[in-house]
Amino acid sequence: MTSRLFTAALPQPTRAPAPLNLETVRRYALFIVLAGLIIGFSWLQPAFSQPANLLSILQSTAVDALLGLAVTIALIAGGFDLSIGATAATALIASSYAMVVWQWGTAPTLLFGLGTGVAIGLFNALLVVRLRIPDLLATLGTMFLLGGLQLIPTGGQSISSGMLLSNGSTATGSFSAAFLALGRARLAGVPLPVILVGVLAIVAWVLMERTRWGRVFYATGGNEEAARLSGAPTARYRVTAYVLSGVFAALGGVIIAARVGRGDVSGGSSLLLDSVGATLIGFAVLNARRPNVLGTIVGAVFVGVLLNGLTMLNVPFYTQDFVKGFVLVAALALTFGLGRARR
């Protein structure tokens, strides 16, 4: 810090050239390691670099990336959203129930699933923005609430065609082909969820990095008082962020339902950990030190590549959580621990 201040006060300040130094290495560290992983896995296991496998990595990453975006958007506006995983799980159950039990069409089911996300987002916003409950506590509460809520309609069992309902009858509906396509179809060989998440990521990136609304989202999250004194309707932005976050998470849940073709009951806690992990790993991408869309996507892909590669090398699956945790801690250390040299 001192050295920067000294430079800043020189009579004729000059911008130092950026040599290939430690700073640059840290900036691109995650990309460098990612490239190393891909090369290493391809060398050890040639099947790794087959297009089909690479696409399957993206396919398995898509939902984590989408939920990571949900966490990122909420975090940019200054609110941690712990209910992400539970929101996805609830939307999964809601859309399955609509389709199988109520026998709704594809479009209404889709809208209902996403609507669940909007409602949960608004509920979180009510707790955090209006009732001023600290964000971690409020969304933790929502998480428990949703985890219990989704058990009630089916008495805790998974939803599939022909399931026994609580009134003794059998569910006659089934997942429509159009709905299942959302999780299974391919466009020019690329899985539809990958395309969907890719497009949403680009939209979110443009919104956050290139428009004035993005600036206000970041300002609200960084220093709400300063944003308010600049004339920004900060409460509205925070509500919007929670709603967007809820919708993204709900879409993730709907995609899972379409891919699996069954409404499995789950608390969504592994979804939560993976998406938060992607977001926090994203802090290290380009040394941003803030929640950012590009970083989250890179973080999700990074974890996906690592897990896929290790699986192909026959590393037991039960080590996966440990590997994820290790990557997360290393990325955080890179961002915060070693980053002090900058200032």
Partner 1 sequence: MPAAVLPPPLLALRQIRKRFGATIALDGVDLTLRAGEVVALMGANGAGKSTLVKIIAGASQADDGELRLAGDPIRFDSPRAALNAGIATVHQQTSQLGVPGLSVAENLLLGRLCSAHAAAWLAPATIRQQAATIAAAIAPDLPLDADFADLTPAQRQLLALARALHESARLIIFDEPTASLSPRESARLFAVIDHLKQAGIAILYVSHRLADLRRIADRAVVLRNGRVAGEFAAPLDLDAAVRAMVGGALPVRHAAARPPTQQPRLELQQVQLLPDSTPFNLCLHAGEVVAITGNLGAGKSRLLQVLFGLRPLPAGRLLLDGVHWQPRSVAEAIDAGIFMAGEDRWRSSFLPVDSLGARLSDLIALPHLRRLFPDGWVKQQQLDDTARSWIQRLGIRCQGPHDTPDQLSGGNQQKIVLARWQSAPAKVLLLDEPFQGVDVGARHDLIASIRSNPDTAVLIATSDLEEALEVADRVLIMGQHTLYDPGQGRDADSLLGQLESLEQFAGALPDHPPLSTTLPMEVTA
Q: Which residues bind partner 1 (CB under 8 A)?
A: 1-2, 4-9, 13-15, 208-216, 218-219, 221-223, 225-233, 288-290, 292, 343
Q: What is the DSSP letter of 288?
A: -
* Angle subtended at Cα 195 by Cα 192 and Cα 198, rounded to the nearest 5 degrees: 150
Whichever of 7 and 50 has its CB closer to partner 1, that residue is 7
Question: For residue 95, which amino acid is it?
Answer: S
The residue written with tokens 């390691």 in the block is 33
> 178 and 121 in contact (C-beta within 8 Å)?
no
Q: Which is nearer to partner 1, 175 or 283 (CB)?
A: 283
- The DSSP output letter for 81 is -
Q: Looking up tokens 């440990």, which residue turns up?
A: 322
Shortest Å distance, C-beta 11 to partner 1: 9
The pair of structure tokens assigned to 148 is 């219990």
Classified as helix, coil or strand, 276 is helix
First-to-last alpha carbon distance for the chain, in angstroms, is 4
Question: C-beta of 240: minimal distance to partner 1 in Å?
Answer: 14
d(CA 275, CA 293): 12
Identity of the residue, 216 or 272, whose beta carbon is nearer to partner 1 in the bound complex: 216
The Cα 72–Cα 291 span in angstroms is 6
- Taking the complex as a whole, the smallest distance from the CB of residue 311 to partner 1 amounts, in Å, to 35
CA distances, 314 to each of 55, 306, 327 (Å): 20, 12, 19
CB of 221 to partner 1, least distance (A): 7
Q: Which amino acid is at 303?
A: V
DSSP, collapsed to helix, strand or coil, labels residue 187 as: strand
**Shortest distance (Å) from residue 29 CB to partner 1:** 17
Kindly calculate the radius of gyration of the chain based on its CA atoms and give it in whole angstroms: 22
- Alpha-carbon distance of 94 to 110, in angstroms, equals 10
Host H or E run for residue 319: none
Work out the widest C-alpha separation in the chain, in whole angstroms: 85
For partner 1, which is the closer residue by CB, 224 or 264? Answer: 224
Nearer to partner 1, 123 or 218 (CB): 218
Nearer to partner 1, 27 or 228 (CB): 228
The answer to whether 88 and 249 are in contact (CB under 8 A) is yes
Nearer to partner 1, 184 or 290 (CB): 290
Least distance CB 130 / partner 1 (angstroms): 17
Say how far apart CA 43 and CA 55 lie, in whole Å. Answer: 18
**225 or 314, CB closer to partner 1?**
225
Minimum distance of partner 1 from residue 2's CB (angstroms): 6
**Least distance between partner 1 and beta carbon 38 (Å):** 29
CB closer to partner 1, 14 vs 21: 14
What's the closest the beta carbon of residue 338 comes to partner 1, in angstroms? 14
